[in-house]
Amino acid sequence: MSFPKSLTILFPLLFTLLIPFTNATTFAVLNKCTYTIWAAAKPGGGMRLDPGQSWTVNVPPSITQARIWGQTNCNFDANGNGQCQTGDCNGLLQCQGYGKAPNTLAEFALNQPNNLDFVDISLVDGFNIPMDFNPTTAVCKSLRCAANIFGECPTELQTPVSVEKSITDISHVVLKSILCDGDLISHGEVAKDWESPELVHLLSQLSLSSDSIRCKYLLEVLDTLRDNCSSDKVTGQCILNSPGGSRIFKSSFLSSFCGVRWMVSSMDNELHYSKDLFYDCDAVRSILGVTAPYVVPKVKSEKLLCDIGLKTQVRLDDILVALQVWRRSKTPFMASIAQMSKFYTFIWNEMATLKQKIIEELSMGPFIFVPYSCVSRHDDVVTGVFLSPSEWRSEAMQTVDGGQLIKLSTVEDDLRSGREKSGFRWRSEATQR
């Protein structure tokens, strides 16, 4: 869809940079296009603006960040319910959430440190209308985005781009994953794929520079755009002459996110492969707690979550790696009795098939979590220490808050010999010294 490129929507910003914090900020939204725009603001609601009409948006001092945008080709009933072709906010004229991409955004952050205010025009959600953003003081410069720079970009430079290649140019790993027994590759068979050389270059540069801040921002952008702008670009298609006709595979565009360290971990703020990080969910947190490598920021799009391969379930290898990290940590370890109970229960349930592996790992260092203090609820997080079986036996009765004692029982004494274990059990006893 094309839009007029010689027309603008003007957003005069009516405030001075020295306004008192207690005063509201006013935005005057003026439609200078030759067609109707349904202006929207969060917070602020929305209003139909025919050519030449304006709308005043008053932002209370308690609001520090928000956005204004335009909706096009809308159809609303008398109650303000309907739909817009671009910028739609859940079918409401009085917007309560953000608009659906694509839509040009006027963003602002008010009353920031040192009493500064920031404004920008963003195409992070795409482009739908030209826009000016003009402050009323000479201190700040006017901003303008009068054309769809994405649409003006030559096809060969747009990202991602659709490519058609010989099936022999598809990687061996991809072919192995999509071909069935008996499938034969014939001359002339092709694959339709999505590629993004620019993205590959960007990820490589971010990874080499260990730029965690920009990597976090990139993930936020991808999370915002995934459902609306790139949903059809995550898979490629092999056109085969064999029965079945075609096979679907992960596109090169999507694979580029998985083949480089660019995702930030909550544990060390360093860059990692997506396959090595967890999505912060109950299934993981209930076992590994807060001290697990979760990706930051947290992904909201379920589709993107699946695309990039974040872990959503805990495996035994994850348990053993987490235990190694906890042992090496130089900061006090914190967990709840409920979490550690599930942690040990998970290990015990794996003993039937992987007993030797578990015994070897547990024998390499302390693994019995002993809290420093009593807690009233098993869900309460408490600081503690890991002890070996011998250390635990000698320190089984430890003095804690107010002279109380806490006793925890765990695997039986024959752990190191490899004989059958009775299981992991937690038992606390509070007695007087």
Note the pLDDT tens digit of each residue in 293-337. 999 999 988 888 888 889 999 999 999 999 999 988 888 899 999
**Rounded distance, CA 252 to CA 311, Å?**
21
**Rounded distance, CA 351 to CA 358, Å?**
7
199-220 in b/e burial notation, b at 16+ Cβ within 10 A? bbebbeebbeeebbeebeebbe
pTM, 2 dp: 0.57
**Rounded distance, CA 185 to CA 189, Å?**
7
DSSP-assigned beta bridge partners for residue 239: 190, 246
> Is residue 138 exposed (0-12), middle (13-18) or buried (19+ Cβ within 10 Å)?
exposed
Q: Do residues 333 and 368 touch, judged by C-beta distance below 8 A? A: no
359-373 in b/e burial notation, b at 16+ Cβ within 10 A? bebbeeebbbbbbee
Backbone angles phi, psi at 306, to 5 degrees: -75, -40
Q: For the segment 112-164, what is each residue's pLDDT rounded down to a tens digit?
A: 767 777 777 777 677 788 888 777 665 666 777 666 555 555 554 455 777 88
The percent of residues in the chain predicted with pLDDT above 70, rounded, is: 72
Domains of the chain, CATH where assigned: 9-152 (2.60.110.10), 156-263 (no CATH), 315-433 (no CATH)
Helix, strand, coil in percent for the chain, rounding step 5? 30, 30, 40
Q: For the segment 189-216, what is each residue's pLDDT rounded down to a tens digit?
A: 788 888 887 778 888 888 998 988 888 8
* Average pLDDT score over residue span 13-34: 57
Contacts of residue 40, Cβ cutoff 8 Å, sequence gap at least 6 = 46, 68, 69, 70, 71, 87, 89, 95, 99
Confidence check: pLDDT of 49 > 60: yes
Tokens of 165: 């290649």
Residue 267's closest CA among 353, 329, 311? 329
DSSP-assigned beta bridge partners for residue 11: 133
Looking at 82-136, list the stretches that DSSP marks H as alpha helix, in order from N- to C-terminal side. none
What separation in angstroms does the CA of 410 have from each of 4, 200, 297? 72, 49, 36
pLDDT at res. 271: 95
pLDDT at res. 25: 74
